[in-house]
Structure 1
Amino acid sequence: MQRTSQLNPSAHASRGWLNGFIGVLIFSGSLPATRLAVLEFDPVFLTVARASIAALLGLGLLAFFKEQRPTPNQWKPLLIVALGVVIGFPLLTALALQYVTSAHSIVFIGLLPLATAVFGVLRGGERPRPVFWLFSLLGSGLVMAYALSQGLSAAPVGDLLMLLAVLVCGLGYAEGATLSRTLGGWQVICWALVISLPVVLPLATILAPASFTGISLAAWLSLGYVSLFSMLIGFVFWYRGLAQGGIAAVGQLQLLQPFFGLALAATLLHESVSVGMLVVTVAVIACVAGAKKFAR
């Protein structure tokens, strides 16, 4: 069933920015929550457990609303979404957070707008103006310059895992947003989760700890957050926003994610947030205004 909108283009785009902003707010808690969870859960188990919980909820939603199955040509994009955002990004970030702090990893999220925009061109057929790329590259360059200034050799494995996570996430975002134009935002993430269920549920059962005794409440709450909000609810708003406002344009809102994430890391995990981190974050946030202006 094709989803269409009766709103005029301006109102449609405004709703896209609002939905995208809500999605970014929800995703901002993902890395701090993951950091808390991997202190007590194995990262691979955490990845398949969060996907399993979200997939079972997604399956229930699809059954409750009696959603039609995707068409044959929609299954391949759904598989890409599943590999990118259901398995790839959560697994790579969980592994990375064994080597780096959540505050450090959040800085890499500043690269997501560029990755999403590139895949929006390759997979979504979008064509932003040349000046857009200048602002997007500037924001990403500032992020990487800061990371280099901190010495990537201190945790090269963690940084490499974060870079790979950004790439697969950008692809999953663009693919899902493109598919959302016809399948619907929440339907895309639910079907992608369902596709992964035959893999992640058995793995979650096999990799589950022999005993959950001693697991703290903070770890359980973190698992709940990344399962319900990061893996499901956040994508409902995010894919809808990307589809409504444009992948490249709304994708630049991800430049706000480091700011919110750093604040959460400092508040909840008591991690140090340096002046340099704040300066870089403010600078890349400034780039979103210019990128937004020239995205179309």
Structure 2
Amino acid sequence: MTGNLRSVYLKLVLTTFFWGGTFVAARLAVKEAPPFFAATCRFTVAATCLIALTAWYASKEGKSFPVPAGGRQLALLFSLGVTGIFCYNAVFFTGLKLTTATSGALIVAINPLLTAVLSALWLRERVNLTQGVGLLVSLLGVSVVISKGSWAVLAGFAFNKGDLIMLGAPLCWALYSILGKKALASFTPLAATAYAALFGTMLLFPAALLEHAVLGGPWPSFSWIGWLAILQLALLGTVVGFVWWYQGVGQIGAARAAVFVNLVPFFGALQAALLLGERVVLPQFLGGVLVVAGVYCGSRGNAKGQAVREPEGRGAQREAVPDHVETRI
């Protein structure tokens, strides 16, 4: 293995480590502030950095800042902000206020396969048998996680409210990913994400004001631990994670990079145990194994079912984007 390849693999592993850490960071943030306030703080920082990066890359290549060409492109980019930033983070932060970081990481791990299924329904993409089996196995794993292995919980539908809310996160992300595929026909991944973060922040800010008006009391604030959590979410979990992920995809291809996503629930549970003192009970462990196994199975099926072109040079950035494996922002 060459030094360059080792560097790529290390960045991909660190990226999934950062993504796993977002569940812990969000859990810490919502202990000190309401969900919409925490989400607004996160994306005010992230959107500023992403827009600056987009402008820097554009000037580096001698181009102007990418601007939507007409109302249709603008509406598409706005829809990314609605689904991937506003709606996703609404359920992400609200769910993690009511459940554990471990459960959240294991539930959201089903993201890629749910995206594949919705793509099949919406974009008429074919779901092969391996993907179908992988989805069923992952769904079984999620059921075990949210029920804590209790048949009584399943029969009585007595689930933790946070777990049920977290189920909305993969759905929001799947919709964002499908819309993102259309946006990538006109914009680079970085530019599309920057616009999504910008529009999402514009929606989160008034939601935070409304949240404060309803809850009352003093304006929320963070301790230094809370601000560290926000900076982890914004800088490591969003900006650095995004850049490193697409660098890896651009150098080793989408199919090979996709395998690293399976590390996210493991890193999420590990950091939750070390930093929050959460304990992984046997049903969560078994459910997590089923979720990861299903995602891995479905990802392998996707890799075999399509030809993945390796990008050549900077101009191939869009071709490097994986169909059913997405960044977490």
The answer to whether the superposition gives a TM-score over 0.5 is yes
> Does the 8 Å CA contact 2:51/2:194 hold for their aligned counterparts?
yes
1:110-121 equivalences under 5 Å are 110-121=109-120
Post-superposition shift, 1:144?
1.5
The 1:273–1:159 alpha-carbon spacing in structure 2 relative to 1, beyond 3 Å, is same
Structure of larger gyration radius? 2
1:231-250 equivalences under 5 Å are 231-237=238-244, 245=254
The 1:77–1:23 alpha-carbon spacing in structure 2 relative to 1, beyond 3 Å, is farther
> Does the 8 Å CA contact 2:80/2:179 hold for their aligned counterparts?
yes
The 1:196–1:94 alpha-carbon spacing in structure 2 relative to 1, beyond 3 Å, is closer
Gaps of 5+ in 1: 1-15
- 1:56 paired with 2:43, answer no
Post-superposition shift, 1:183?
1.4
1:1-296 equivalences under 5 Å are 23-64=15-56, 65=58, 66-72=64-70, 73-122=72-121, 126-148=125-147, 149-150=149-150, 151=153, 155-180=159-184, 182-201=186-205, 207=212, 210=218, 215-237=222-244, 245=254, 254-295=261-302, 296=305
Gaps of 5+ in 2: 1-7, 59-63, 306-329
> Does the 8 Å CA contact 1:116/1:170 hold for their aligned counterparts?
yes
The 2-side partners of 1:123 and 1:229 are apart by 32
Post-superposition shift, 1:277?
2.1
TM-score (norm. length: structure 1): 0.78
Superimposed CA distance per residue, residues 122-172 of structure 1 (whole angstroms, 9 cap, x where no aligned partner): 455543422221122212222213422253655542222111222111211
Give the SS at the match of 2:278.
Answer: coil
* Residue identity opposite 1:67 in structure 2: F
Give the SS at the match of 1:183.
Answer: coil
The 1:27–1:177 alpha-carbon spacing in structure 2 relative to 1, beyond 3 Å, is farther
Q: 255-264 vs 126-135, which deviates more? A: 126-135
The 1:117–1:20 alpha-carbon spacing in structure 2 relative to 1, beyond 3 Å, is farther
> Does the 8 Å CA contact 1:176/1:239 hold for their aligned counterparts?
no
The 1:284–1:92 alpha-carbon spacing in structure 2 relative to 1, beyond 3 Å, is closer
The 1-side partners of 2:110 and 2:279 are apart by 21
Q: Percent sequence identity over matched residues? A: 25
> Does the 8 Å CA contact 1:253/1:288 hold for their aligned counterparts?
no
2:313 aligns with none
The 1-side partners of 2:146 and 2:202 are apart by 38
Superimposed CA distance per residue, residues 62-106 of structure 1 (whole angstroms, 9 cap, x where no aligned partner): 333332213334323322221122111111121112221112222
TM-score (norm. length: structure 2): 0.71
The 2-side partners of 1:287 and 1:23 are apart by 21
The 1-side partners of 2:269 and 2:298 are apart by 22
The 1:255–1:140 alpha-carbon spacing in structure 2 relative to 1, beyond 3 Å, is farther
> Does the 8 Å CA contact 1:123/1:178 hold for their aligned counterparts?
no
Superimposed CA distance per residue, residues 16-55 of structure 1 (whole angstroms, 9 cap, x where no aligned partner): 9998766543321111110011111111111122122212
> Does the 8 Å CA contact 2:128/2:301 hold for their aligned counterparts?
yes
The 1-side partners of 2:259 and 2:105 are apart by 15
Taking only aligned residues, the RMSD between alpha carbons, in angstroms, comes to: 3.4
How many residue pairs match? The answer is 279
The 2-side partners of 1:292 and 1:196 are apart by 29
